[in-house]
Amino acid sequence: MKKYWKSTEELSEMVQQNSPVRTGEQEPEFSVEGLDEAEIKQGLKSNRRDFLKMLGFSVGFASLATSCETPVRKAIPYLTKPEEVTPGIANHYASTYFDGHDYASLVVKVREGRPIKIEGNELSSITQGGTSARIQASVLSLYDGNRQQFPLKNGEHSDYSTIDKDVKTKLGEIAAKGGKTVILSSTVISPSTKQLFEAFKEKYPGSEVVYYDAISYSAMKKANKETFGKKTLPAYHFDNAEIIVGFNCDFLGTWLSPIEFSAQYAKTRDLTNGNKKMSKHYQFESYLSLTGSNADVRYPIKPSEEKTVLLNLYNYIAGKSSMDILKAGKSPVDISKLADELMSHPSKSLIVSGTNDVSIQVLVNGINFLLANLGGTLEFERNLQIKNGCDHAFANLVNEMNEGKVDALIMYNVNPGYDYVDAEKFINGMKKTGLTVSLSSKNDETAKHANYVCPDNHYLESWNDAEPYNNLYSIAQPTIHNIFDTRQAQESLMAWAGIEGNYHDFIQKYWEENLFGKQSEYLLFTDFWNNSVQKGIFETDAETIECPLFDFDYFNRAGADFTKVKAGGDIELVLYESIAIGPGIMANNPWLQELPDPMSKAVWDNYVAVSPRFAKDKGWEQEDVVKVNASIELPILIQPGQPYGTVSIALGYGRTDCGKVGNGIGKNAFGLGETNGDLRSYSNLSATIEKTGETYPLATTQTHHDMKGREIVKETTIAEYAMNQAAGNESHKLTMDKSETMYPEYEFPGAHWGLAVDFNKCTGCNACVVGCQAENNVAVIGKEEVKNRRIMHWIRIDRYFSTETDEINSPVVSENPEVLHQPVMCQQCDNAPCENVCPVAAVLHTKEGLNAMVYNRCIGTRYCMNNCPYRVRRFNWYRYLDNDKFDYNFNDDISKMVLNPDVVVRERGVNEKCTFCVQRIQEKKLVAKDENRPLRDGEIIPACVQACPTKALTFGDTNLKGSELNKKFEDQRAYGLLEDLHTVPSVQYLTKVRNKDAGHQGEKHHS
Amino acid sequence: MYKKSVRGILIKGNKTYGEITEQVLASQEKKAPLWWYFAMFVFSVMFLAGIWAIAMTIKEGIGLWGNNNNVAWGWAIINFVWWIGIGHAGTAFSIFLLVLRQRWRTSINRAAEAMTVFAVLAAGLFPMIHMGRIWNAFFIFPYPNTRGPLWVNFNSPLFWDVVAISTYLFTSAAFWYLGMLPDLATVRDRSKSKIKRKIYDIASFGWVGSARSWLRYEVTAVIVGGVAAPLVIAVHSIVAMDFATSVFPGWHTTIFPPYFVVGAIFSGFAMVLTLMIVIKVAFKLDDFVTEGHLDAIGRILTFVSLIMGSSYATEIFIAWYSGVEGEMFTFFHNRITGEYAFQFWAMVTCNAIIPQLFWFKKVRRSLLMLFIISIIINIGMWFERFNIVVTSLSKDFLPATWVEYHATNIEILTYLGTIGLFGVGVLLFIRYIPMMAMNELKMVNKPTSTIDK
C-alpha cells in the first residue's frame, strides 16, 4: 500500500502505528532498533544468552584491564582521631629556636602531625615575630635523612640501654678515681639545661662544663668585665639610637641577635606616618656585609685599621670631654665629622664592633660611655645570654685533652672537629681522652671520632626552655614525635646523671620552682605552665641595677700594649659568616645552600671575595682558583665593596660529614683564622694568595649589577625628603597623570589584594625568600641549574650597586658602592602582560586582583615568562620531584614531609610564580565567612610578610579604606615598578631615603 | 595577450610537449644518481639525530635546552620563524606571480610549493616540542569539552599562530597537490609497472584529462590560490604579532607584521633560488630554469633586500625617536654595540648589504654567486630572528635579571634534524613527484618559445 505523508511527524506516527505494540506482535526483549526484520528474527534466537555472554566478557575484561598494575596507595585512617587534629586544618604551636647561635621565638605550623612551616612569634619582645632565613629553613633540617638515625657505639649500631650502662659505669669509675669529666657545650640558654648540668656535676664530682662557640664573642665579655665590671653582654637598643656606628659588625645579618636588631634598626628608619627623621648609620668594615650595604655612610677599612680608627675616635671624643687621650697612629679616614655628630647626640648613639679583640671592645665601651649611651642605647639590666663561649677555657681544654688530663668528654651541640681553628688538634685530643660521647644530631666531623654517639632530637621534636635575656623566657615544645631513634641530649644527660623522669617534667619542675614565683597572674602552676607553653614566652621585668661606670684605670693596667696596632701584610683576610650558611650548622639544608648571598648573589659555594681594583692589580679574574695561606683552594669572586688590599671568605662551608647536600660544598675556612692569645680572631692580617692557574665555575643568580640609569629602585636623601616627600619619586605623578587606557577599567567589587615594600626597612636579609620557599613548595635545583639561571624562587632580592661615577677602576666603584636591595615577587598586575598571551587561558585574573596561574591547564609555551617585564615567572625545566638528578628535598619520603599540602607541587613543563599566598588568603576568608564577619585588616599574612624581621612588607586590601596597606600606597614615596608600562601592578615600592648629605642620588643615574 | 613579452624565451630549446615530459620526468624515470643516495643518507642521518634530540627533550624536559628564566624562547622559536619564513616562498611565488601574470613562474612554482610544505612541516615541529607539556598539546585547540566548557584564549597571538599555521599548511599542501594532478596522471600514463600505475592513478584521483576536468581543475586552482593568497600575508603577520603584541623593547613595534612578511618572502625566495640552482645543475634542466629565471629572482631579492634594510633603519630610528629607555638600550647597546653586535652586523651584512651585489648583471648571471648569496641571505635571516628573539629577552627591563643565552647541543641537533627533514622531503619530491609543473610548462611553451625566433 502506497503511503502519502505531509510531514516527518506524520510519517513517524505512521511508523509507530505499525510498531509491534500496536500490531499486537511480541516486542523483542532488547532494543532492536536499526535492524531489519530478518536480522531481528535470526538475532532473537539467542538474544538473552548473547547478552549475558557479552556482559560477562565486558565485565571480566574491564576488571582485568583495570586491575592490572594499579598502583596501591596506602592511606591509614585515624582509628582514634586525636582531639586536636582535623585533616586540612593547621595547628600552630609556640616554640623556640636556639641552636647555640641564633635565637628566635616561634610559632610552628603543623599539618596532620607534620611541622611544615616556621613563623615568628609576635608575642616575643625580642624577635617580635621576625625570623631569619636560617630559622625559616630549620624546619627542613627536621626531615634531614642524613641525621644520625640511631645511637652508635664505636661507630656500630647500638641501643640506648647499652650505651647508658657503659657511659654510667665509665663516668662512675672516672669520678671514683677523681678523674676529670668535661661537658663541652655550645652556649646554653636553657635555664633547665643549666640546672641539669649542675645536677650532673653533683653526681660526678670533678666534672666541669666548658662552653664553646664557633663564632666567639669572648673578647666582648672580657672587655665588659674589665671596664664595666660585668662579665656579660649588654642589651642593645638600636631603636633608641640616632647615630649608629658599626665596626666590622654585621648586626643586621649575623651579629649576636640580628632578628631583634633588624627590627630595632628598621624602627629608626621608618618614614611612614609623616615621620621625617631617621637614624644615621655609619659602617666601617672589611668586607661588604649586609649591614654595611644598608649604611648611610660606609668606610671600607682593612681589619688592621679598625683599631686605629677607634683609637682616633676615642681620642677625639675623649679630648673634647677633657679626658686623657691614648697613643694613636693616623686614622685612615677622617673621623672628626663623625665624632662631632656623635657628640651632638649624647646618649642617642650606639657604637658596636664585631671584632673579637679585647682592646677594640674596650675602646667601643669607652666611646659608648663617653657618649653617655649606657642606659640609653645599651644597658646591663638585661643581659644578652646567647653567647657564653669562652675561648680561653676551650683552648685550655684542648691542651689538657692533648696532655691526656681529661678522662671523659661529653659533647653537646658542638662541632670543634670542623669549626675550631685547629680542628686537628682537637681531634687528636679526643683520641687521647678515655671516654668521648657526642650528643650531636649528626655523625659529624667531631662525632665520628667519638666512642659513643647518642643523637639529639631536632628542636621541633624536643621540649626545651630558653632565657636569651635574663628574665625573658621562652619555651620550645615538640611538634612531632621523634622521626628517628634519637633521644634528646638532655634526657641522655639525665639518664647518666641518674635523674628519673623525662626532660619535660624536669623543665616543668624548674619552672615551678624558679619562675612560677616571679609572676602573680596565675594562682595555679598548671595554669601558668599551660599559658606559657601556649604563648611560648614568659617575660618579667629585670631587676633595676645601677648603670656601670667605665673603668678608665684599665688603660693604665693594660699598659703600652693596649695601643699597639698589629700591622697588616700585603693581603689581609677576613672571615665572615654568610647570611645563608652562617657557621655551617645547617650546611646540609638545600634551601640555605641555594639561597643567594645578599651581596654576591652566589649560591652553593664559598669563594675569595676581592674588589675589582685589587683583583686587577693582582691579575686575578672571576673564577680563578687561588690557594689561600697554602692550605685551601677557592675560586675568586669579584665583589665591589671589598676593601682594597683585603679578601674575604665565608665560614660554614666545606663540611665533610653533614650529609648528601652539604658535603664538599665550598671549603672550610675556620682554620684560616689567627688566634690572638687565647682569643680567636676571624681575620688573618698577613694572608698569602697564589693563583693555581685553574678555574672553577661559580653559580650566581645575578650578573648585572647597575640599574643602567633606569628608575628601578628610587632613592633620595633625607634633606630632600624633608622638603618634598615625593623627592626621587617625581616621575610617579607624571606617569599616573599620563596613564590612560582605551579599555573599560575593571572594578574589583570585593577585596583587591596589594603589597607594599618599604625600601627604608628592607635590609635584604633573605628571610622572605626562604619563608616563601617553605610555604610554597619551591623546588631546589642545584648549582648547575642555578648557573643556567633557572632558580625557582618566587621572591628574589635584586641587588644593585650605585655610585656617582661609573669609572670602573675608581676606588668608590671598586670598594665603596652604595647598595640597593629590591625584593621582587609577582606584582599581580591588573593589566598583566602575561595574561593575554597565554594561548590556553592558564593565566587569569581573579575577581580579587590576583594574577592566577592554573597549573593543570598550563602547557608550557613560556609565552607568559617572556612577556613578564618583572621576570618573576618560573618554569619547571625538569621534573624536580622524584628525580635522582635533583636529590635535594623532593626525592625521598622523609624530606617530602615538609611539603605544604595546601600548595600543589608543580609538574615538569608548567609555569609557576608567586600567588600572594592565595592559600592563606583563602584560609582566612573561610575563617571570616565562618564567623560571619568581614576580613580584618592585616589578618591575612603571606609567608614573605610573616618572615620579615623588619616589617618592610605590608599586605592588605587596597579596597579597604584606612588599611595599613593603603597608608603605604597613599604615601608620596610609593610607586609601582615599571609603572610606565601600564601594567598596573598591585605591588608598590616606597622610595629609599638615605641619611646622607650630598646630592640627589636619583639624578646621578641619568647619563 | 601582449604582442611582445618582456621576459623573452621562457623554455629554451624549442621543445615539443613530449620532450618537456621526457626531460622533466627524467629525474624519476631514470635510475637515481649516486649523489641522490649520498644526500639521502646525509639528510636521513641528520633527521634521525634530530629525532633523537627531540625524544630526549620530551623525555627529560626543556631543561636540556639553553633557555633560562629570562630567555624563555631560544633556538626553537628562532628556527620556527626561520622555517616559516622559508615556507612562505612557495605559495607567495605561485600566487603572487600568478596574479601578476608572471609566466616565468611555471618552471619554478612546483618546487617552491613543495619546499613550502616541507618547510612548514619543519616549522610546525618547533612550537610542538617547545611546549613544556607536549602531551597536553591538544589543549591549544578550541574543542567542545566537559571542562566548563573551557576555551582557549582567543586574545593570544599564539593561538592565532596555531590557526594560521595549520590553515596555511593544509591550504598550501592542497594547492600544491591540486597543481600536481595532471602531472601525476602523466606519470601514471607513462608508467609500465602495474603497481606504479595503480598508485599514481589513485594519487591523480583518476584524472582523465577531459575538457570538463580541465575546466573544473582550473577553476578550483584559482579558488584555492585565491584563498591561499591572503594566508601568505596573514601567517607571517601573525607570527610577527607573537612578538609585536608583547611589551618588550625590540618586540613592541607596529612595523613587525609587514617587516616579517617581507623578511619571509626574502628568505623564501632565497631558498627557492638555492633549490632551483641545485635542480638546474643536478638534472641539467637548463632549458627550463634559464638565466632569465634566476635573473628575475635576483632582481626581486635586490628589491626586497632594500626593504629589509629600510626596515632595520626604521626600527633603529623609532627606538631613538621614541626616547624609550629600554628601546634605546636594546638597539644601541645590545644590538648595534654590545654583546650581540656580531649577530646584528651579520644580519645587516647578509640581508641588506651583500644582496646589493645583484645590482650587477654579472652577479645575477653567475650561478656560483647566485648560489652563495642565496645561502648568505638565509644565514642572515637566521641571524635576524636570533637578534629579535634573544637580544630583547636577554636584556630587558630589570638589569638584575639579565642573562645571556647559549644554545645547547640538543637544540643544535634539533635544528639539524629539521634541515634533515627538509632535505629528505625535497629529495623524495625530486624522485617521486614531477618537480616542474609540466602541464603549465606546456601552456607557456608555445607562446614564449616561438617569440623572437
What string of H, E and C letters represents the secondary structure of A51-75? HHHHHHHHHHHHHHHHHCCCCCCCC
State how far residue A864 is from chain B, nearest Cα, in angstroms: 9
Q: Could you tell me the CA-to-CA distances from B408 to A586, B52, B122 in Å, in that order?
A: 35, 14, 19
Cell of B45: 642521518
Q: At what angle do helices B194-203 and B157-190 cross, to 10 degrees?
A: 140
Rounded Cα–Cα distance for residues A569 and B183 (Å): 89
Q: Which residue in B61, B131, B403 is closest to A789 by CB distance?
A: B403
Cell of A962: 584606612
User: Do residue A657 and residue A742 come from a single domain?
Assistant: no
Inspect the interface and report whether the beta carbons of A709 and B399 lie closer than 8 Å: no
CB atoms within 10 A of CB A696: 15
B393: closest chain A residue by CA: A866
Residue A404: per-residue pLDDT: 86
Residue A262: per-residue pLDDT: 93
Residue B3 banded pLDDT, cuts 50, 70, 90: very low
Residue B39: per-residue pLDDT: 92
Rounded Cα–Cα distance for residues A710 and A978 (Å): 9
How many A/B residue pairs have CB atoms within 8 Å? 164
Rounded Cα–Cα distance for residues B232 and A659 (Å): 60
Of the residues A366, A384, A402, the one at which a domain ends: A384
3-state helix, strand, coil in chain A (%, to 5): 35, 20, 50
User: Do residue A749 and residue A853 come from a single domain?
Assistant: yes
Inspect the interface and report whether the beta carbons of B132 and A909 lie closer than 8 Å: yes
Residue A68: per-residue pLDDT: 61
A572, part of any domain: yes
CATH assignment at residue B217: 1.20.1630.10
CB A850 within 8 A of CB A750: no
Rounded Cα–Cα distance for residues A435 and A406 (Å): 9
**Residues on chain A touching B397 (C-beta within 8 angstroms):** 710, 869-871, 978, 981
Inspect the interface and report whether the beta carbons of B67 and A822 lie closer than 8 Å: no
* DSSP for residue B416: H
Q: Could you tell me the CA-to-CA distances from A825 to A251, A777, A782, A828, A872 in Å, in that order?
A: 26, 16, 21, 9, 6
Q: What is the mean pLDDT of residues B222-245?
A: 86
Question: In what helix (H) or strand (E) does residue A819 lie, and over which residues does it extend?
Answer: strand A818-824
Q: Chain-wide mean pLDDT for chain B?
A: 85
Inspect the interface and report whether the beta carbons of B63 and A877 lie closer than 8 Å: yes
Residue B446: per-residue pLDDT: 66
Closest CA to A584 of A657, A633, A638: A657
Inspect the interface and report whether the beta carbons of B162 and A878 lie closer than 8 Å: no
Of the residues A330, A365, A384, the one at which a domain ends: A384
Question: What residues pair up with A613 in beta bridges, in sequence order?
Answer: none
State how far residue A742 is from chain B, nearest Cα, in angstroms: 16
Q: What is the mean pLDDT of residues A50-58?
A: 83
Residue B322 banded pLDDT, cuts 50, 70, 90: confident
Q: For the segment B367-406, what is each residue's pLDDT rounded down to a tens digit? A: 898 999 999 998 999 999 998 899 888 888 999 999 989 9
Q: How many residues does chain A have?
A: 1007
User: Do residue A881 and residue A792 come from a single domain?
Assistant: yes
Residue B414: per-residue pLDDT: 93
User: Do residue A742 and residue A662 come from a single domain?
Assistant: no
B7, part of any domain: no
Q: What is the mean pLDDT of residues A70-83?
A: 74
Q: For the segment A701-755, what is each residue's pLDDT rounded down to a tens digit? A: 998 888 888 889 999 988 888 888 888 888 899 888 888 888 888 888 889 999 9
Inspect the interface and report whether the beta carbons of A877 and B136 lie closer than 8 Å: no
Question: What residues pair up with A189 in beta bridges, in sequence order?
Answer: none
State how far residue A837 is from chain B, nearest Cα, in angstroms: 4
Residue A998: per-residue pLDDT: 59
B4, part of any domain: no
CATH assignment at residue A372: 3.40.228.10
Q: Which residue in B139, B247, B396 is closest to A840 by CB distance?
A: B139
CB A457 within 8 A of CB A115: no
Residue B80 touches partner A, C-beta closer than 8 Å: no
B359, part of any domain: yes
Inspect the interface and report whether the beta carbons of B396 and A822 lie closer than 8 Å: no
Q: Which residue in B133, B152, B162 is closest to A841 by CB distance?
A: B152
As for how many domains chain B has, the answer is 1
Above 90 in pLDDT, residue A763?
yes
Cell of A4: 502519502
Inspect the interface and report whether the beta carbons of B133 and A789 lie closer than 8 Å: no
Determine the residue among B67, B162, B247 to mutate to test chain A binding: the one whose Cβ has the most chain A Cβ atoms within 10 Å: B247
Please identify among residues 232-261 of chain B the ones whose CB lies closer than 8 Å to any CB of chain A.
242, 245-248
Close Cβ partners of A674 (under 8 Å, ≥ 6 residues apart):
A421, A681, A683, A684, A685
CA A909 and chain centroid, separation = 29
User: Do residue A846 and residue A967 come from a single domain?
Assistant: yes
Domain span at residue A969 reads 715-994
Between A34 and A64, the higher pLDDT residue: A64
A276, part of any domain: yes
User: Do residue A656 and residue A735 come from a single domain?
Assistant: no
Inspect the interface and report whether the beta carbons of A866 and B137 lie closer than 8 Å: no
Q: For the segment B160-192, what is each residue's pLDDT rounded down to a tens digit? A: 988 888 888 888 888 888 888 888 888 888 888
Question: What residues pair up with A691 in beta bridges, in sequence order?
Answer: A626
Residue B104: per-residue pLDDT: 75
Q: For the segment A458-500, what is each residue's pLDDT rounded down to a tens digit? A: 999 999 999 999 889 999 999 999 999 999 999 998 988 888 8
Residue A70: per-residue pLDDT: 62
B296, part of any domain: yes
pTM for the predicted model, two decimal places: 0.88
CATH assignment at residue A933: 3.30.70.20
DSSP 3-state of A975: strand
User: Do residue A634 and residue A583 come from a single domain?
Assistant: yes
A686, part of any domain: yes
b/e for B42-61, b at 16 or more Cβ within 10 A? ebeebbebbeebbeebbebb
Close Cβ partners of A483 (under 8 Å, ≥ 6 residues apart):
A142, A143, A458, A461, A894
Residue A598 banded pLDDT, cuts 50, 70, 90: very high
Residue A760 banded pLDDT, cuts 50, 70, 90: very high
As for how many domains chain A has, the answer is 4
Above 80 in pLDDT, residue A21?
no
B317, part of any domain: yes
A519, part of any domain: no
* DSSP for residue A582: B
**Residues on chain B touching A911 (C-beta within 8 angstroms):** 132
Inspect the interface and report whether the beta carbons of B132 and A858 lie closer than 8 Å: yes
Q: What is the mean pLDDT of residues A640-666?
A: 91
A757, part of any domain: yes
Residue B62 touches partner A, C-beta closer than 8 Å: yes
DSSP 3-state of A125: coil
State how far residue A842 is from chain B, nearest Cα, in angstroms: 9
User: Do residue A640 and residue A749 come from a single domain?
Assistant: no
User: Do residue A692 and residue A810 come from a single domain?
Assistant: no
B440, part of any domain: yes
**Please, what is the end-to-end C-alpha distance for chain B in angstroms?**
18
Domain span at residue B362 reads 17-450
Residue B157 touches partner A, C-beta closer than 8 Å: yes
Between A829 and B435, the higher pLDDT residue: A829
Residue B145 touches partner A, C-beta closer than 8 Å: no
Residue B263 touches partner A, C-beta closer than 8 Å: no
Rounded Cα–Cα distance for residues B330 and A712 (Å): 17
Residue B307: per-residue pLDDT: 92
Inspect the interface and report whether the beta carbons of B133 and A875 lie closer than 8 Å: no
User: Do residue A265 and residue A352 come from a single domain?
Assistant: yes
User: Do residue A681 and residue A724 come from a single domain?
Assistant: no
Rounded Cα–Cα distance for residues A257 and A459 (Å): 19
A364, part of any domain: yes
Inspect the interface and report whether the beta carbons of A909 and B62 lie closer than 8 Å: yes
Please identify among residues 295-314 of chain B the ones whose CB lies closer than 8 Å to any CB of chain A.
none
Q: Chain-wide mean pLDDT for chain A?
A: 87
Q: For the segment A530-571, what is each residue's pLDDT rounded down to a tens digit? A: 999 999 999 888 888 888 888 888 888 888 888 888 888 889
B154, part of any domain: yes
**Residues on chain A touching B402 (C-beta within 8 angstroms):** 703-704
Closest CA to A664 of A445, A414, A884, A413: A445
CB A871 within 8 A of CB B70: yes
User: Do residue A663 and residue A729 come from a single domain?
Assistant: no
The values of phi and psi at residue B226, to 5°, are: -65, -35
Inspect the interface and report whether the beta carbons of B400 and A704 lie closer than 8 Å: yes
Question: What residues pair up with A638 in beta bridges, in sequence order?
Answer: A610
Inspect the interface and report whether the beta carbons of A981 and B247 lie closer than 8 Å: yes
A943, part of any domain: yes
Residue A67: per-residue pLDDT: 61
Q: What is the mean pLDDT of residues A509-519?
A: 88
**Residues on chain B touching A877 (C-beta within 8 angstroms):** 61-63, 67
Inspect the interface and report whether the beta carbons of B133 and A907 lie closer than 8 Å: yes
**Please, what is the end-to-end C-alpha distance for chain A in angstroms?**
100
Residue B2: per-residue pLDDT: 47
B9, part of any domain: no
Above 90 in pLDDT, residue A674?
no
Q: Which residue in B72, B153, B246 is closest to A838 by CB distance?
A: B153
Above 80 in pLDDT, residue B90?
no
Of the residues A350, A366, A384, the one at which a domain ends: A384
Closest CA to A466 of A208, A92, A106: A106
Closest CA to A963 of A972, A973, A953, A954: A954
DSSP track, A373-429: -BTTTEEEEEEE-S----HHHHHHHHHHHHTT---EEEEES--HHHHSTTHHHHHHH
Residue B57 touches partner A, C-beta closer than 8 Å: no
State how far residue B313 is from chain A, nearest Cα, in angstroms: 24
The radius of gyration of chain B's CA atoms, rounded to the nearest angstrom, is 23
**Residues on chain A touching B136 (C-beta within 8 angstroms):** 859
Please identify among residues 335-364 of chain B the ones whose CB lies closer than 8 Å to any CB of chain A.
none
Residue A29: per-residue pLDDT: 52
Residue A1004: per-residue pLDDT: 32
Residue B63 touches partner A, C-beta closer than 8 Å: yes
